A and B are shown apart, each in its own frame.
Chain A
Amino acid sequence: MNKLFTRIGLAFVLLFSALSFAADKPAPEQPVDNGLLWAQLKDGATGYTTSQSEFHAMPINHYDLRVLELRSDWLAPGLMAALFGMIIIFALFIMVNGISKLHHGFSGKMVHRWSKFDISIHWLGAIPCLTLILTGLTLLAGRFFLQPFVSEGFWASFVSIGKQIHNIMAFPFMLGWLLMTLLWAKNQMPKMYDVKWFLVVGGYINFGPFKGKHPDAGFANAGEKMWFWTFALFGLVISASGLLLIFPNVFEPSRTMSLISLVLHGVSAIIICAFSIVHIFMATVMSEGGMDCMISGYCDENWATQHHNLWYDEIKANGTLQYKD
């Protein structure tokens, strides 16, 4: 009998102790709502897992799935167009318009324009830039435009080598970009006469009201300035997003951040690629005598007076004009 009372008493004590514990938690507990659980999972809730692998604590990483279409439907054809489309457009333009000739021919007197160091940083950026465009095109658009026409083995090694070259060439490119951006910016500041340059399309149109126009230009003309600042800005974007993608172990970006980088990288690539094609055409074909600048560092005196009159007048006036020996 005594034993029974002890048991009942103990049960009472336990009952009230349980109640007192419950009283410490004032919030009424909601019944488990599975719908809520899925909503939390879709919002990227994380949980406990024994797995040590990357991102494994989060069952669902939510992001805007339109990123996928953006890459395949817009960026891939966009980069194709920026490369091949621009080449075709510019070639047609030159066939119709003709090139920009030196009106007084070559004078034979060569004026110092670029130092040897300037030329080397130009090519330090330029050669990797070209390889990056071609390998980047393979990585972004190759599966749509090349893979269907080649064997599986060729494609596998091609895209693999493309990736290796892309990763390696990124570093000289970034160094070239950094040096060019920092060292050349002082000559690229916009001036009022740049507006007039744009109004006559730089004097490169050989027909209609634009024919024979020669707008003022300093060391760099307005078109070159536009290219310089575009390159400076998108070079920064492409370098930053590229570093994030190449060193995930250092920056530890989220998956969404990596996808955003991927899109920014593609957009920057399209812009830089399109400008690069124009830049190459202008220097090699369009502007007679222009290519000498980045080979010897000297330009023809007639080229200087025709295309960069203000710069020529300035160096002549302040005595910094140097002829090639």
Chain B
Amino acid sequence: MNIFTPSNIKELFEIRAKHSNAVLLAGGTDLLAQWHNNKSHPQKVISLSGIKNLSFVKEEKNYVEIGALTTHSVIAADRTIKKLLPVLSYAASTIGAPAIRNMGTIGGNIANASPAADLPPALLIYDASLILASQSGNRELKLSEFFRGYKLTALSDNEFIYSVRIPLPPADIYSEFFKIGTRRAQSIAKVSFAGLIKKDKKGIETIRLAAGSVAPVPIRLYETERFLQGRILTRSVISSACDIMLKYLKPISDVRSTEEYRKFALKNLLTRFLNKA
């Protein structure tokens, strides 16, 4: 294995230009396990850990920006994130166990594009975008448009994830993240759910819903949101919202759980969320 260790972004671009098939390695918590399981690894790897200034949390006027190499531990403990984006903070704290959280990064969690990743549902309800950097400049892409299919992303060969930009959520919202893992720690989600809601006298003013492990990618539940928008929550509205949600999701049975259970749990998590809102 050839390992490249750029120490700044300029070097990273140069290496990427020469070795377009090289794999980007951040914390390695997913990739190393994959290589071990497959008993094979890529020929060329670019380790990002030497690049300075890619781990940061910045609070701007309208958004919070988190550098791609920021670890889950940092995100879970960061005061700004805890205050402004509590759902993200909590989601980060549910990942793996301390050792994993100390190594794993937000950029890696997104780029790995696992349907079971813990951060994306939280980021999706905050309407997060990614800053994708390449030699020709940066572009901003909504996270909801980044996932293109099972383990497929919109990242092109010459790009890397520079940061995640999260607009500040509206005031007076209720939001939560709920992860059903295979156990209480060191576990991968069977189902995860994130929701953000703001109600006024006329009904639901803002609603954003997202789920993990129930589709090929972490997914925003747009149809359900559209249905709920402007409505007053009644038992029958909640029940219809659940039906709509399940119509658009196709969870599968796999090594961790069953289709039946995933549907049941998701329905209950949405119901529970709307009841609490």
A binds B: no
Residues of B within 8 A of A (CB): none
